[in-house]
Amino acid sequence: MPSYDPSTFPPFAVTVDLVVLTVRRHALCALVVRRGESPFQGRWALPGGFVRTDEDLGAAAARELVEETGLCAHDPAAPAVGNGAHLEQLATYGDPGRDPRMRVVSVAHLALAPDLPAPRAGGDANSARWAPVVDLLGPGGGFGRDGEQSEPLAFDHARILDDGVERARSKIEYSSLATAFCPPEFTVGELRRVYEAVWGVVLDPRNFHRKVTGTPGFLVPSGGTTTRQGGRPAQLFRAGAATVLNPPMLRPEV
Amino acid sequence: MPSYDPSTFPPFAVTVDLVVLTVRRHALCALVVRRGESPFQGRWALPGGFVRTDEDLGAAAARELVEETGLCAHDPAAPAVGNGAHLEQLATYGDPGRDPRMRVVSVAHLALAPDLPAPRAGGDANSARWAPVVDLLGPGGGFGRDGEQSEPLAFDHARILDDGVERARSKIEYSSLATAFCPPEFTVGELRRVYEAVWGVVLDPRNFHRKVTGTPGFLVPSGGTTTRQGGRPAQLFRAGAATVLNPPMLRPEV
DNA sequence: TCAATAGTGTCTTTAAGACAGTATCGC
DNA sequence: GCGATACTGTCTTAAAGACACTATTGA
């Protein structure tokens, strides 16, 4: 083990970047902000900022989340419902060349939020937006298709976003985290459309209904019904106490 | 978004810590090193060290792994076999009080290695050892049981180790990563004993054999046989090209 | 011979996939 | 009425769990 001398450690800057995902109009969307400064001035980027001197990594991510969206981060142990978002650490990115100015290590976090009215970004309305991830990454995770896409994200944020999307896609398989995309009360159909948007597939409504209502602790009937989707009124549910789904939801083959 | 001034960023030290796991004598073991300096002098800790100024995080982890064990880290895309170890990023720990001397953010990595002759630690034979994780963490992840346990690990390394063990336990469910604990050629029984040691359960040898040999691309017969386990000679296999197991291996209920 | 491990086969049970059919709303 | 969505039910199939049985070595 190398000698450990606190006075000669190589200096780093440490930031948190946020992959904030939501489902809007049947599409998985991510929160991006317009950069006002060089480098990558004018390009879209993930929200983020420096970790403060006496602040834990998770606290820094929660603070950034409030600043960007007004969402409160839930305790990770509690079910992610209500007007708070699920927040968890994603991965850390520290390539020496990822920021041209200096050595920056970014601890990326993943947040899952229900559909929100509109993002805010320090008062500047035009500097933040929800963008469909297919526009930001392309259908296969790369660029260069169709005409609807933005230019590439700043820094290595396309890779971070891709990792976050893949984390969300896999986590809703074996956890009840898909409810974090829903309002406090939701129908089975709304939950199914969340899975369809995140996975980019079409699911059989009957088998889906059997699966989610048959998994103990996943959904709890709230008593009410709604007709906001049209058709026959649907029963309303809240997220139950279960956090892991065993057996898991199976993502259909491509 | 807060102002981004590279000249006034809060200074951090960034380290990598390693959770190196192996299976020895039917027990899941972790590599720990004896601390020679304060704080926690004389206590066991996970190996690790500073990230160098122009070094990627994964490169720093791979360098530490070589320094501590002599193992080469495999490319994450390639199957983890042979005399190299599987290495992946685990999580990042940055609580402001986790190191009493200064603000240190540690990017923990997880390495899975086959059974090795003996650890080395800079020439000092007594300063590194393979310790059963049940001795380091206790059966339930806590301390205070039996008499066989060491004193708690230094810093927050018990939590890091616990996270690494849980990552390994879940990853061998849906990936072929259990072969990273095996030598280049191994039998079905040896692979089963890896699962049993990592999960701490007993598996049905017949169902296990059906499962692993029936999953395409998991195991490839190497042609030879061995009798090193006693009893009827067993067919030898190498790890196949498959990296994900679908459907997964099912971990029995507790 | 026996003990130990390797390997194959069968029956049962769980749960997913693929459907059909009925129920209850707005229009 | 019609269209839409919600919900229940049935048949089939994939795969795990729980066994019995045979095969091949060393001691």
Residues of B in contact with A107 (CB under 8 A): 92, 94, 105
Please tell me whether residues A125 and A186 are part of one structural domain: no
Please tell me whether residues A26 and A102 are part of one structural domain: yes
A244 in any annotated domain: no
Chains A–B, number of C-beta pairs less than 8 Å apart = 109
Please tell me whether residues B149 and B188 are part of one structural domain: no
pLDDT-based confidence at residue B75 (cuts at 50, 70, 90) = low
Q: What pLDDT is attached to residue A147?
A: 45
Greater confidence (A63 vs B141) lies with A63
pLDDT over threshold 50, residue A129: yes
Please tell me whether residues A25 and A144 are part of one structural domain: yes
Please tell me whether residues B48 and B68 are part of one structural domain: yes
In this structure, the dihedral spanned by the alpha carbons of residues B60, B62, B66 and B69, taken in order and rounded to 10 degrees, is 110
Do the chains contact at B48 and A89, CB–CB below 8 Å? Answer: no
Q: What pLDDT is attached to residue A5?
A: 56
pLDDT over threshold 50, residue B2: no
Do the chains contact at A53 and B96, CB–CB below 8 Å? Answer: yes
What average pLDDT does the segment A242-251 reach?
A: 96
pLDDT-based confidence at residue A10 (cuts at 50, 70, 90) = confident
Rg (CA), chain A: 20
pLDDT over threshold 60, residue A197: yes
Domain span including residue B217? 177-239
B250 touches strand D (CB under 7 A): yes
A254 in any annotated domain: no
B100 in any annotated domain: yes
What average pLDDT does the segment A10-30 reach?
A: 95
Please tell me whether residues A184 and A170 are part of one structural domain: no
Q: In chain B, what are the helix, strand and coil shares in percent, each to the nearest 5? A: 25, 25, 45
Q: What pLDDT is attached to residue A80?
A: 43
pLDDT-based confidence at residue B69 (cuts at 50, 70, 90) = confident
Please tell me whether residues A167 and A222 are part of one structural domain: no
pLDDT-based confidence at residue A223 (cuts at 50, 70, 90) = very high
Minimum-distance CB partner of B10 among A1, A4, A50? A50
Please tell me whether residues A120 and A33 are part of one structural domain: yes
Q: Is residue B60 a contact partner of residue B154, using CB atoms and an 8 Å limit?
A: no
DSSP state of B7: G
What is the identity of the amino acid at B224? G
Please tell me whether residues A186 and A170 are part of one structural domain: no
Please state, in angstroms and rounded to a whole number, the distance separating the CA atoms of residues A64 and A58.
10
Boundary-marking domain end, from A158, A174, A190? A174
What average pLDDT does the segment A224-228 reach?
A: 87
pLDDT over threshold 90, residue A117: no
A191 in any annotated domain: yes
For the segment B107-140, what is each residue's pLDDT rounded down to a tens digit?
A: 999 999 999 876 665 555 568 999 999 999 977 6
- CATH number of the domain to which A86 belongs: 3.90.79.10
For the segment A32-71, what is each residue's pLDDT rounded down to a tens digit?
A: 999 998 899 999 999 999 999 999 999 999 999 999 887 7
Q: Name which of B236, B108, B128 is nearest B183 in CA terms.
A: B236
A150 in any annotated domain: yes
Q: What is the mean pLDDT of chain B?
A: 88
Contact A50/B at CB under 8 A: yes
Render B90-143 in DSSP notation, one character per residue. Answer: EEEE--TTSSSSS-EEEEEEEEE----S---STT-GGGEEEEEHHHHH-TTSSS
Minimum-distance CB partner of B92 among A2, A50, A89? A89
- For helices A188-199 and A205-214, the axis angle rounded to 10 degrees is 110
pLDDT over threshold 90, residue B202: yes
A83 in any annotated domain: yes
Q: What pLDDT is attached to residue A142?
A: 58
A229 touches strand D (CB under 7 A): yes
For the segment A152-188, what is each residue's pLDDT rounded down to a tens digit?
A: 999 999 999 999 999 999 999 999 999 999 999 999 9
CA–C1' span, B127 to D16, in Å? 45
Q: Is residue A119 a contact partner of residue A20, using CB atoms and an 8 Å limit?
A: no
- CATH number of the domain to which B200 belongs: 1.10.10.10
Boundary-marking domain end, from A174, A197, A230? A174
B247 in any annotated domain: no
Element (DSSP H or E) covering residue A214: helix A205-214
CA–C1' span, B231 to D24, in Å? 7
Do the chains contact at B96 and A6, CB–CB below 8 Å? Answer: no
Boundary-marking domain end, from B121, B140, B171? B171
Query: Which nucleotide lies closest to B208 by the C1' atom and the CA atom?
Result: D16
pLDDT over threshold 50, residue B149: yes
Please tell me whether residues B47 and B88 are part of one structural domain: yes
Q: Is residue B33 a contact partner of residue A1, using CB atoms and an 8 Å limit?
A: yes
Q: How far is B52 from chain A (nearest CA, A)?
A: 7
Q: What pLDDT is attached to residue B73?
A: 77
For the segment B28-65, what is each residue's pLDDT rounded down to a tens digit?
A: 999 999 999 889 999 999 999 999 999 999 999 999 99
Q: Is residue B7 a contact partner of residue B108, using CB atoms and an 8 Å limit?
A: no
Please state, in angstroms and rounded to a whole number, the distance separating the CA atoms of residues A44 and A129.
9
Please state, in angstroms and rounded to a whole number, the distance separating the CA atoms of residues B165 and B157.
12
pLDDT-based confidence at residue A122 (cuts at 50, 70, 90) = low
Query: Which nucleotide lies closest to B236 by the C1' atom and the CA atom?
Result: C6
Residues 60-99 of A with CB under 8 A from B: 67-68, 89, 91-96
Please state, in angstroms and rounded to a whole number, the distance separating the CA atoms of residues B130 and B68.
12
Q: Name which of B75, B67, B160, B96 is nearest A55 in CA terms.
A: B96
What domain count does chain B have?
2
pLDDT over threshold 50, residue B77: no
Please tell me whether residues A13 and A79 are part of one structural domain: yes
Please tell me whether residues A79 and A24 are part of one structural domain: yes
B228 touches strand D (CB under 7 A): no
Contact B4/A at CB under 8 A: yes
Greater confidence (B162 vs A121) lies with B162
Contact A243/B at CB under 8 A: no
B254 in any annotated domain: no
A194 touches strand D (CB under 7 A): no
Q: How far is A251 from chain B (nearest CA, A)?
A: 11
